[in-house]
Amino acid sequence: MAQQRTSAELPIRDERVIDGKAFAAGLRGRVADAVAGIKAGHGLTPGLAVVLVGENAASKVYVKNKALQTAEAGMKSFRHDLPVETTQDELLALVAELNADPAVHGILVQLPLPDQIDSHAVLAAIDPDKDVDGFHVVNAGRLSTGTGGPLVPCTPLGCLMLLKAYVGDLTGKRAVIVGRSNIVGKPMAQLLLGENCTVTVAHSRTRDLDAECRRADILVAAVGRPEMIRGDWIAPGATVIDVGINRIDAGGGKTRLVGDVAFDEALEKAGLITPVPGGVGPMTIACLLANTVTAACRQQGIEEPDFSA
């Protein structure tokens, strides 16, 4: 039997495979150029504060990468590593300090938080204009009403940038999003509505999920279930954006990352598809950097750069 390719081994030159890694590198370059311009023109250095509570191994890696890429883009990076026993009041006091600090234009509190802390209360305490994760209800409201210039959650923002770059005008496309979380599915739906797509949001109670998916010109999978979406769920020529990041057993004591879409099967049907890893993932931090620059410009009344081009 022929050995199956994994997405990580695929030649990324396949023109149907969206190279999120390269696109994210380009976006980080545009962010760095914008930062240099803002420094030279306005004497302002955008600053991002990242708060980590506890020792979650995955969170530590994310936070390290965020800090590193913030500095590489020429911005100030403020790290706050708090012990796992930090109380909610202590964390809220730090958030209040960061809200008031003029050198901090973006605040990110890494989730998940330890059990003694109510993450909703903490996210609600962040100044919405510094909420570069876009999770504050004010930003969710601004996004859903199309008013007030929201800060948009980074992962769906990255998906939209890829879609606009690779597909072009999205007007009239049938979009199906599988997953309705506040951080991916719902904001993705709002963004695609804003692009004049006809949007369906599917979830764990959706009937005939495979048939719903087959109707999609654009299929966004944000479920958290390894390879749940099969090749025969995809309409010929559809664009597939796989947000899922799932670590599975690869045998021999090893693990590997897969998405929510069965990549090799989907590649037989899709017109365009993001791999995992190397698709949506790298866009998330790049969009965090872009959001920090956007937030800094809005706070200082400086014209904001257009990162979409």
Task: Give the whole-angstrom CA distance, residue 262 versus residue 72.
Answer: 34
Of the two residues 93 and 137, which places its CB atom closer to ligand NAP in the complex? 137
Write each residue from 223 to 242 as x if it is in contact with ligand NAP (CB under 6 A), else as -, in one continuous string. xxx-----------------
Asked if 133 is an active-site residue, the reply is yes
Of the two residues 86 and 119, which places its CB atom closer to ligand NAP in the complex? 119
Q: Which two tokens stand for residue 294?
A: 């956007």
The answer for 244, left when phi > 0, alpha when psi is -120 to 50, beta otherwise, is beta
Give the burial string for 187-196 (b: 16+ CB within 10 Å, else e). bbbbbbeebe
Tell me which residues in 177-206 interact with ligand NAP (CB under 6 A).
Answer: 178-181, 183-185, 202-206
**Across the chain, which distance is largest between two alpha carbons, in Å?**
62
Number of other residues whose CB lies within 10 A of the CB of residue 123: 19
Minimum separation from the CB atom of position 180 to ligand NAP (A): 4
Of the two residues 140 and 184, which places its CB atom closer to ligand NAP in the complex? 184
Asked if 110 is an active-site residue, the reply is yes
- The catalytically annotated residue of 129, 131, 133, 242 is 133
Between the alpha carbon of residue 294 and those of residues 71, 137, 309, the distances in Å are: 16, 19, 15
Asked if 69 is an active-site residue, the reply is no
The answer for 123, left when phi > 0, alpha when psi is -120 to 50, beta otherwise, is alpha
Of the two residues 195 and 260, which places its CB atom closer to ligand NAP in the complex? 260
Closest-approach residue to ligand NAP (CB): 181
Minimum separation from the CB atom of position 75 to ligand NAP (A): 20
Binding site for ligand NAP (CB under 6 A): 155, 178-181, 183-185, 202-206, 209, 222-225, 243-246, 280-281, 284
